Amino acid sequence: MAGIVIAQTTVNDEAKAYEIAQGAVEARLSAAADVEARMTLFHRDNGTLRHERGYRVSFTTTTERVADLEAWVHERHPYRVPQWIVLPAAGTTQGYLDRVVKETASGRYSS
């Protein structure tokens, strides 16, 4: 039985965030994708602490499609090792689950 997950990544370019979000929905790998407001990202790069502006992209997809979504996003992501976090979406209604399954069932992309 299908379940819903929220998959997240971050990018430091607003246009790229929009491109990835829209493309995932167009490819039917995600029923919805949200580009969250600009934030500050802190991380280490070769031992040096860095900070930069960034955008979180949150994808709503199914447990069955999340691996395909991950492969698709990583092919298009500007980072060598992109952040990829998958969170279960507990407590979703049956109606919303049905919508997410319908929107991602006929995906054009397969790994």
Q: Mind listing the pLDDT tens digit for each residue in 18-75?
A: 999 999 999 999 999 999 989 999 988 889 999 999 999 999 999 999 999 999 999 9
Amino acid at 83: Q
In whole angstroms, give the CA distance from residue 106 to residue 101. 9
| Mean pLDDT, all residues of the chain | 91
108 pLDDT more than 80: no
What's the confidence (pLDDT) of residue 109?
56
25-41: per-residue pLDDT in tens?
999 999 999 999 899 99
Share of the chain above pLDDT 90, in %: 75
pLDDT at residue 111, rounded to an integer: 47
4-98 CATH: 3.30.70.120
List the chain domain ranges. Answer: 4-98
Angle at 24 between CA 6 and CA 19, to 5 degrees: 115
